[in-house]
Chains A and B, each alone.
Chain A
Amino acid sequence: GAGVSQSPRYKVAKRGQDVALRCDPISGHVSLFWYQQALGQGPEFLTYFQNEAQLDKSGLPSDRFFAERPEGSVSTLKIQRTQQEDSAVYLCASSFQGFPNEKLFFGSGTQLSVL
């Protein structure tokens, strides 16, 4: 596709449910990032992939958060046993090579509401 695609756009979950958020990066982009954006805040880094390798997961808030990119393209962010504090917009971004000067392209995000 022309841009980074994320689905679903909106997700409502009951506390304790598991959720899976999908990201389709721009075709050919090697690097993929997940960010979490709470209401009224800037995005915060969660994790980073280069192809299928998860090179940095230092931003994942707890072991309930898990991300994968098994074939080096589509990525899934899974949140187990969701809590109210998980409510946020989850943004996916990709870049061609991931070098320091490469530009990052963001998707529109998945807005997660945990009730």
Chain B
Amino acid sequence: GQQLNQSPQSMFIQEGEDVSMNCTSSSIFNTWLWYKQEPGEGPVLLIALYKAGELTSNGRLTAQFGITRKDSFLNISASIPSDVGIYFCAGREGGSEKLVFGKGTKLTVNP
């Protein structure tokens, strides 16, 4: 099925470092979402973006909806060990209920 291009695939960082990951699509999306998934759990919504150019923060997390509506990025500042997990971008096309997910960015934070 259709999936988004998410990069990087994995990141190994030291506690306190900032992290950046992004997602691109060949399709235009009306909604971009960022989820975090921990082992044995379902994805949990972190940030939702609804307008092109929108920049939204949630604590140490910041995400932006690209102007072209075909990309989005997520930044995590001052990472901590509990940030470990897999981060997924997801997009929704206009008129569609279903979400299309990226393949995920696996984040490892070394204390």
The chain A residues found within 8 Å of chain B, CB to CB, are: 4, 31, 33, 40-45, 48, 55-56, 59, 91, 93, 98, 100-101, 103-109
Contacts and interface: CB of A to CB of B under 8 A. Distances in A.
Contacts of B43: 43, 91, 106
Q: Which 5 A-B pairs have the closest CB atoms?
A: A106-B42, A42-B101, A45-B98, A44-B1, A43-B101
Contacts of A93: 42
Contacts of A100: 30-31, 92, 94, 97
Q: Is the interface of B mostly helix, strand, loop or mixed?
A: loop
Given A40-B103, A59-B1, A103-B48, A48 B97 contact: yes
A4 B44 CA distance: 12
A103 B42 CA distance: 14
A101 B50 contact: yes
A101 to B, nearest CB: 6
Interface-centre pick from A44, A56, A93, A108 (highest chain B CB count, 10 A): A44
Q: Is the interface of A mostly helix, strand, loop or mixed?
A: loop
Given A42-B88, A44-B101, A56-B97, A106 B31 contact: no
A59 B98 contact: yes
Contacts of A107: 42
A95 B32 CA distance: 16
A101 B54 CA distance: 14
Nearest to B100: A45
Nearest to A6: B42
B40 A98 contact: no
A82 to B, nearest CB: 20
Contact of A42 (B41, B92, B102): B102
B105 to A, nearest CB: 10
B99 interface: yes
Interface in B83-109: 88, 90, 92, 94, 97-104
A104 B99 contact: yes
